[in-house]
Structure formats: structure tokens, C-alpha cells
Amino acid sequence: MVNGPEPVRTEAVPDGEPAAASGPAGELAAEQNGRSWLWWAERFALLALLVAVVVSFALAEPDFRTLANLRVVLATQATLIILALAALFPLIVGQFDLSVAAIMGTSSIVAAGVLSKNHAPLVVALIAGVASGLVVGAFNGWLVTRVRVNSLIVTLGVATILPGLVDWYSNGLTIVSGIPQSLLDAASGKLLGLPKSILWAIPVIVIIWYVLTQTPWGRRLEAIGANQEAARLVGVRNDRLVLTSFVVSGGLSALAGILSLAQNGSADPQTSLGSLLLPALAAVFLGATAFRPGHYNVPGTVVAVFFVAFAVSGLTLAGAAPWVNQVFNGAALIIAVTLSTLAAAGGGRPASRALRSALRARARQQSAAPGSS
């Protein structure tokens, strides 16, 4: 039995020349070295593209490189970041939630309605708005895990029902009265040189990243997404965690709705129609090509949001037509899904894993053989 790191056999070489590994261990080392550049390219290509887009437009468009434009982009993307992170949770466990944008609009209307029609305290309105998102998320999760309805069908249906209920509740009118100034002040203006709205998103980003990467709960979610049956066999309670992922998704969508209400000072029923759904999904799928290719992850999602936002901002300042925004978002979604699929396949090809396992096994056998040095 060999303890500790496995030794690698090397051939004797003249002084002054580097020793090169030979045999299976050498093949494994060569494979790893040959793939090192690809490893970096796969993980940081999106970040490099973001930097390239920002630098290119900054050099070409004077208005793009102003602090005012930077603050506008940061402020307008705060809601989308939270909404994209809401869509992230069901995707991690292998499910879809197409109702995140509808929940966002619904929670905004609920909170504004409680303030305007019932003249309730702000805290009560905020609780009501977030609670509405949690309830819808729990309903989605219950249908998916207990009734076994496909998540696409469930959430698409809910995303169709909610705008109707919102239109009935608000009579199709934007709610503009009764919104307290304290709520508006919480998301408008600047703090420490940054738009206050982006300061809503930063703690959400950090907390979600920590939960998904540093806690057993987050690792169990990823285990379910990787292989539900294998996760179940090792004791993971799949249904409970999938249900929880939809509840968290609903709660985050509701938080995005509250932020939208605070930014705009009003609640528009049209928000519940889901105009931010495709940008949110595009960000999550595009983010799955970065940092951890083939895996939905928080840093990749955030970088993807800003990649699309700065690209659209630069094109708009360059004089592009208004329809460019929709075309860019649609193209980004298609390309993102394609790249994330290829990344997942490339990172987990059975043949490649088998080859690497065989090389490692042969290297261990050779190192442990009698007379090996």
C-alpha cells in the first residue's frame, strides 16, 4: 500500500536539462499541460469578452466611458441580477421556472396595493409582497414534486395566470399613490458613489454564492441536478430540496419586485407580463459557460448580466435602433444555451473521463510495483 501522493517516475537526463515524466504518468502530465490553456479559456472567456466590450466601446464612444453611464447600467441591472439568481435555483436541480418575472410583477403590485388601497405600514406591505412570491413558489414546487407535473408546464401556466390576476386586482391601472418616500429613498440616489439599487443586489449575490458553494444544502442541490437517482440513493431528500428551490426562487423574484417598486415609485401591471424573463434566463445560461463550465453558478450569472447590459448600452450610444436590445437578448439566449450544453458535454465526456482514469490507474500500478523508484 502506497501512502501519500503517488510518485512520478522520471528518466535520468543530463545536467541542466529538465526531467520529463515518462510512461503513463508522463502521458497524464502531458494531457494536463496541453489542456491548461483550454481550462483557463473555458472559465474566463466570458469575463474577457466583458472587458473587451467595455474597452472597445469606451474607446469608440465618449459618452460610454462616463461615470453617469456606468451608474445607469449598474442601477438598471440590479433588478435583473436578483431575478436571474431567482431563476438559478430551479435550474440547478434540473427544473425550469418560467414564472419568475410574473412573480416579480405580482409582488410589486401586491406591495403597492397594500400601501395604496389598505394604507398599511410599509413593513406590512413588504411582508405581503415577499409572502406572495413565497406562496407562488411553494405552489409551483408542490405541483412539480407531489403531483409530478412537468416544471415547464406548471410555471408557464402560472406565468399566464398571474398577469390576469394582477390586471383584475389593479383594474389594469398603474398604482402610483401611497408609496412612501422612505421606500423610494432606499433605492434612489447614490451611496458611497454607487447607485443604491445595486447595493440591494450585492448582499444577495454574496449570500447566494456562499449558500450554494459553502453549505451542505447547496451541494445537495447540485447533486440532485447532476443525478437525481444517485442523490436519492445516498440519502438526499430530492423532493424536499426541489420544493425548497422553487420557494427560494419565488422569494427572490418577489424581492426583485420590491426593488422595482422602490426604483420606479409605482407598480405597473405590465411588469407581470414577464419582459425580463428572457434576459434573466439568458444570463443564467450564459453564466454557465464561465468559471465552472457546464454548471449554473453565481459569478457567471452576474458577469453575463453585465456583459449583455454593457454591450446593449454601447450599441445604443453608437446609434443602434431600439430593436437591437430584443435581438441581442434573444441571440444571447440561443448562444448561451448552445455554449452551456457544449461546455457540459465537453467537461464530462465519458471517453475522456475513462482515459484519464485509466492513465491514473496505470501510473499508480507502475509506481507501486516492486523495484519502482
Can you give 11-42 as a three-state secondary structure string? CCCCCCCCCCECHHHHHHHHHHHHHHHHHHHH
146 neighbors 87 (Cβ within 8 angstroms): no
Q: What per-residue confidence (pLDDT) applies to 189?
A: 81
| Cα-based distances in Å from 312 to 10, 53, 72, 157, 333 | 54, 10, 12, 31, 14
| CA dihedral (289, 293, 294, 298) positive or negative | negative
**What is the amino acid identity at position 152?**
L
Q: What per-residue confidence (pLDDT) applies to 19?
A: 44
Q: What per-residue confidence (pLDDT) applies to 156?
A: 94
Supply the Cα-derived Rg of the chain in whole angstroms. Answer: 25
Helices and strands per DSSP (H, E), number in the chain: 14, 2
Consecutive 10-residue averages of pLDDT for the chain (373 residues)? 40 42 47 63 82 89 87 91 95 93 94 89 94 96 93 94 92 87 86 87 95 92 84 82 95 95 88 83 88 88 92 85 77 74 56 42 52 46
Contacts of 261 (CB under 8 A, 6+ apart): 108, 111, 112, 129, 179, 183, 267
Give pTM, 2 decimals. 0.80
With cell 464612444, the residue in question is 61
**Domain residue limits, the chain:** 38-348
**What is the amino acid identity at position 304?**
A
With cell 453617469, the residue in question is 68
Q: What per-residue confidence (pLDDT) applies to 22?
A: 45
H-helix or E-strand spanning residue 194: strand 194-195
Q: Which fold has domain 38-348?
A: ABC transporter involved in vitamin B12 uptake, BtuC (1.10.3470)
Enter the C-alpha cell of residue 166.
Answer: 394582477
**What is the amino acid identity at position 197?**
S
Q: What is the 3-state secondary structure (H, E, C) of 118-180?
A: CCCCHHHHHHHHHHHHHHHHHHHHHHHHCCCCCHHHHHHHHHHHHHHHHHHHHCCCCECCCCC
H-helix or E-strand spanning residue 96: none
List the beta bridge partners of residue 21. Answer: 10
The candidate with the shortest Cα–Cα distance to 280, out of 143, 72, 81, is 81
Q: What per-residue confidence (pLDDT) applies to 191?
A: 83
Q: What per-residue confidence (pLDDT) applies to 362?
A: 47
